[in-house]
Amino acid sequence: MATLEEFTKMQFEEDDFRPFTGEAHLGNFSAYYIPASGDLSIGVRIKLDFTDSKTGKWTKPDQDLFKKNLPLIAKDWNDNFLIKCMKPGWEKLKPAKPRFQLIEYAPPHYTMKVIAALKDCGNFVRPEGDGQLWAQSADRLAKAATSMINTKKDMKLPFCIPIDKPGGAQFSVQSLSTLETFATMTKLIMGDNTSKFNVELVGFGLKNDKTKALDPKANKANAEKVKSILEQFCGLKVKYQLFACEDEKPEDPSGRGYLGLATMGVVVYPNVDDIERFFPKDPTAIVDILQAPLVHEFGHMLGLPDEYNLLCSESVDTMVGLGVMGPNAKMIKEDEARLKDFGAASSLSSKSPRITAHQKAYIELCRDAGMPPPVFGKSTPSMMSVGTKFMAHHCVTVWKALCDMTKDHVKPDEWVVKLL
Ligand SMILES: [Zn+2]
């Protein structure tokens, strides 16, 4: 184990760092750390394979523009976080400052087949080191049309906030994140029309202790609790209507099985007509929630999962184990664990055992790094969902690279992420 003085004279390098192993593996990048300056270069080398399609043909200027746009991913990834060394006596060590780079260089970590297409579909990166991108350009609006359709569709889906115990307002961290995400998306999308947006809250499942009959008053009170979280904690001022469900369970018009095993809770029904009416027609109005395809695929190259995929039941167990979800939080039925990949046709989407293994390993890594895991299964402004926003949990694979490289000198819990 080096002294601080010795450590600052060292350099650390990983040319093919893979944050996960076995079936879960996704992500491959190089990391180069210079303790003296704090520079932590995180790079992915790609080979570009330009391919023509029925809807588009590559020209030399288009290819050049695409290559010119590659470094733009750094704008979304750089300057989001530092990793500080908390080892006793090492306070003077400069924090590690990651700089991200995507370059066309050999030998590649990934081969990207870039398919010329005005109408895009099916972007992906695979653990085998290949990927596909359907876009004529690497810029942010390249996938705007599809992103808008998916976001609008997703926004119309009702969702359930499970409540664990009668009487007590037991909201898990995951439920609070879900409500906060809903509020953020609504405000971003509705803008000035937010106050005209109708949202129904339906409390269900709570029964009277003695009579075992449904207790409408208590169920409505649960809806009231969700309203106050949305209004006060998330600052979402919309037109709320509160109800108690008259049946055992509220209906599921989406057929998505979102209630699953939840026996008590509150369902949030966004008004579908209002979404049709107020959803912006112009993509530039909601550029913050339009996925930049390459920025997102770069996240996969770093080993991050898709967050619009549903949370698989295996991962729910992990979340319950970590205390992030309450024991009644099993909202997703086993057959719903077949993940829906909004971005790709099912024939292209990677199959669920691997996604399941990866999601689980990722949630565990979030725990190790002390980061809350993402909200899965919903459109969120996160760059690994439908948006362009960097989130705290996006730094965990880089954190792991730094921990692994320096493991002979610094313990993992001595490297602490500071968000900027
Ligand atoms: Zn993806």
**Domain-by-domain residue ranges, the chain?**
4-139+292-419, 149-278
- The top-level CATH class assigned to 149-278 is alpha beta
Please report, as a single letter, which amino acid is at residue 95. Answer: P
- Which pair of structure tokens corresponds to residue 344? 């790709």
Q: How far away, in angstroms, is 123 Cα from ligand 1 center?
A: 7
Omega of the bond leading into 305 within 30 degrees of 0 (cis)? no
- Is the pLDDT score of 311 beyond 70? no
- Is the pLDDT score of 36 beyond 50? yes
Q: How far away, in angstroms, is 124 Cα from ligand 1 center?
A: 6
**What pTM was computed for the model?**
0.79
Quote the pLDDT of residue 388: 83
Write the DSSP assignment of 177-190 as a string of letters.
HHHHHHHHHHHHHH
Q: How far away, in angstroms, is 34 Cα from ligand 1 center?
A: 31
Confidence of residue 345 (pLDDT cuts 50, 70, 90): very low
Comparing CA positions, the residue from 122, 238, 131, 130 lying closest to residue 179 is 238
d(CA 374, CA 23): 21
Confidence of residue 317 (pLDDT cuts 50, 70, 90): low
Average pLDDT over residues 112-123: 77
Q: How far away, in angstroms, is 100 Cα from ligand 1 center?
A: 18
Q: How far away, in angstroms, is 409 Cα from ligand 1 center?
A: 35
Q: How far away, in angstroms, is 214 Cα from ligand 1 center?
A: 42
Q: How far away, in angstroms, is 22 Cα from ligand 1 center?
A: 20
Phi and psi for 84 in degrees, rounded to 5? -100, 140
Q: How far away, in angstroms, is 36 Cα from ligand 1 center?
A: 36
Quote the pLDDT of residue 282: 85
Among left, alpha and beta (phi > 0; psi -120 to 50; other), residue 126 is beta
Q: What is the mean pLDDT of the chain?
A: 84
